[in-house]
Amino acid sequence: MILRGDVNSLIRRVNFRAVFLTIAREQPVSRIDLAKLCRLSKSTITACTDQLVKSGLVRNCDIGEISVGKGRPKQYLEIDTEAGVLASIHKDQSGDIGVMVTNLNGKILERFKEVQGVQGRKMSVSDYVETLIRIICRIRDTYQNMKHGLLGIGIDQSCVMDPKTGVIEYNSSDPGWKGFSLKQALERARLGVPIYLMRPAIAASLGEMVFGTLEQTDDCVFIVGSWGLGVAYFPGEGSDMDPMPVSASFAHSIIQENGRLCTCGNRGCLEAYASVRSLYNLTFPDKEYMPERFEQLVRESERAGSLVQEQVDDMWRYFSVGVLNIVNIFHPKTIVIGGREERFLKPRHLALIEQYVQQHALEHYRKDLKIEISSLKEDGPAFGGIAIAQRGVIDAMLDSRSEKSRVLVF
Ligand SMILES: [Zn+2]
């Protein structure tokens, strides 16, 4: 690994994040337990917690226990849930925008949906930016009386963006978005809140890691099956001091030469066989996405002997090929499947995927492999937006000179 920048400040940031996340997970927690859980020295814990308390993100609390020998209440730490809020934004295929607002601890305070006026009409990128700005201002104003107000916002983006410039390079649902810099447009609005733009697979993996049930110590791969397919690889502990998932463009790997036409213009891509879009197009060819039609598909897939049920079985068969290829490329110890496609996933499909991988992967790569379903299900990307904003809170605390209206792309 090549370390760029100041190593000490990186170690400091990693320590602060670990302490903050451990308090969030274990609270109320004593400083002594915190030192053990984080595997840090008592003096490092004292320095970290003192600054977290001073900045108002963490507070002291007593739970009525008396310290042996000291005769006074034992001090515990907890996240200050009154400190401020985090938010995440997610645009679904119909153009409706889902918003989640949580406290610093990830507890949902409110959820709302900004419904597009005309269903099925494509949203232009400038309409989208305008809607985002309106939503962010609304949250900022609603929570302005809290100590820190709105502390950060994660927006999950299915389009491919250049991480440096934020310029959209590919948007499968609307080619007209190509060439637009979402990052620049949001920075120009100077909203005074850090914004994090991220791919759904990265969001879902972070969400699962921070708010889900997955205990990640080894390499993991997250597959988010939704309208399209996304894959994120999360290196296990020990591979890097500050691991972040990386997204892999896997949806357009070809599994069938001269096969079905894909949105990217090629034929036979995995996404054209194993995504919700591929399933939807079989029943509603050339029809715009509508949530009612999606629900109709879910209902039909439950009906024994229906054509949709057969098509769903086929979809998971193709999906198995994708999972096998991922096992062979990344050699992960765990594969987590999440996203809307999970609505169609029955235990028999999971068994089918496992069986296919066991039959075809090299023994070394499959012997300890676990394949799981995301505990956050469809909400993975929304919680991922919250997780990245929570991570940014610590960075902002440690670097008070950082630009408040910054927009980062992951
Ligand atoms: Zn393709």
Rounded Cα distance between 337 and 22, Å, is: 25
CA of 253 to the centre of ligand 1 (A): 7
Which pLDDT does position 100 carry in this prediction? Answer: 97
Q: Domain 214-374 is of which CATH architecture?
A: 2-Layer Sandwich (3.30)
Number of other CB atoms surrounding residue 274 within 10 Å: 26
Average confidence (pLDDT) over 292-296? 93
SS3 of 191, please?
A: coil
Average pLDDT, the chain: 88
CA of 260 to the centre of ligand 1 (A): 9
Instruction: Please report where in the chains the tokens 């989640």 appear, as a residue.
Output: 100
- Check if the beta carbon of residue 291 is closer than 8 Å to that of residue 96: yes
210-262 pLDDT, tens per residue?
A: 898 877 677 899 999 888 899 998 887 665 556 678 887 789 999 999 999 99
Between the alpha carbon of residue 142 and those of residues 84, 116, 134, 341, 385, the distances in Å are: 11, 22, 12, 34, 19
CA of 206 to the centre of ligand 1 (A): 26
CA of 265 to the centre of ligand 1 (A): 6
CA of 92 to the centre of ligand 1 (A): 20
Average confidence (pLDDT) over 375-404? 87
Burial class (CB in 10 A: 0-12, 13-18, 19+), 352: middle
Average confidence (pLDDT) over 117-126? 71
CA of 272 to the centre of ligand 1 (A): 7
Q: Is the pLDDT of residue 70 over 90?
A: no
Q: Rounded to the nearest 10 degrees, what angle do helices 347-360 and 307-330 cross at?
A: 40
CATH number assigned to the domain with residue range 7-79, chosen from the 4 options 1.10.10.10, 3.20.20.140, 3.40.640.10, 2.40.30.170: 1.10.10.10
Phi–psi pair at 349, nearest 5 degrees: -70, -40
Between the alpha carbon of residue 158 and those of residues 198, 247, 355, the distances in Å are: 8, 11, 30
Class of domain 85-202+380-409: alpha beta
Q: Is the pLDDT of residue 2 over 50?
A: no
Phi–psi pair at 300, nearest 5 degrees: -60, -35
The residue ranges of every structural domain in the chain are 7-79, 85-202+380-409, 214-374
Q: Is the pLDDT of residue 120 over 60?
A: no
Q: Is 120 left (phi over 0), alpha (psi -120 to 50) or beta?
A: left
What percent of the chain lies above the pLDDT cut of 90?
57
Q: How confident is the model at residue 133 (pLDDT cuts 50, 70, 90)?
A: very high
CA of 153 to the centre of ligand 1 (A): 30
Q: Given CA atoms 280, 97, 383, 180 in this order, what sign does their dihedral have?
A: positive
Q: Is the pLDDT of residue 386 over 70?
A: yes
Which pLDDT does position 199 carry in this prediction? Answer: 87
CA of 264 to the centre of ligand 1 (A): 4
Q: How confident is the model at residue 69 (pLDDT cuts 50, 70, 90)?
A: low
Rounded Cα distance between 74 and 86, Å, is: 30
- Check if the beta carbon of residue 26 is closer than 8 Å to that of residue 78: no
CA of 382 to the centre of ligand 1 (A): 25
**Going by DSSP bridges, is the β-strand pair 195-198/334-338 parallel, antiparallel, or unpaired?**
unpaired
299-308 pLDDT, tens per residue?
A: 999 999 999 9
Radius of gyration of the chain (CA): 22
Rounded Cα distance between 378 and 367, Å, is: 29
5-15 pLDDT, tens per residue?
A: 577 777 888 88
CA of 276 to the centre of ligand 1 (A): 14
CA of 251 to the centre of ligand 1 (A): 7
Q: Is the pLDDT of residue 360 over 90?
A: yes
Amino acid (1-letter code) at residue 307: L
CA of 312 to the centre of ligand 1 (A): 20
Which pLDDT does position 5 carry in this prediction? Answer: 59
Q: Is the pLDDT of residue 396 over 70?
A: yes
Rounded Cα distance between 267 and 254, Å, is: 7
Q: How confident is the model at residue 33 (pLDDT cuts 50, 70, 90)?
A: very high
Q: Which of 170, 193, 165, 175 is nearest to 409 (CA)?
A: 165
Cβ neighbours of residue 283 under 8 Å, at least 6 residues apart?
A: 293, 297, 300, 308, 311
CA of 263 to the centre of ligand 1 (A): 6
85-202+380-409 and 214-374: same fold? yes
Q: Rounded to the nearest 10 degrees, what angle do helices 200-211 and 380-398 cross at?
A: 80
**Of 95 and 113, more confident:** 113
Q: Which of 320, 324, 379 is nearest to 345 (CA)?
A: 320
Q: Rounded to the nearest 10 degrees, what angle do helices 42-54 and 31-38 cross at?
A: 120
Average confidence (pLDDT) over 377-387? 91
Q: Is the pLDDT of residue 399 over 90?
A: no
CA of 281 to the centre of ligand 1 (A): 15
Between the alpha carbon of residue 294 and those of residues 33, 97, 113, 274, 309, the distances in Å are: 48, 16, 17, 16, 14
CA of 243 to the centre of ligand 1 (A): 29
Which pLDDT does position 266 carry in this prediction? Answer: 94
**Tokens standing for residue 359:** 């039959």
Average confidence (pLDDT) over 351-364? 93
Q: Is the pLDDT of residue 139 over 70?
A: yes
Rounded Cα distance between 351 and 359, Å, is: 12
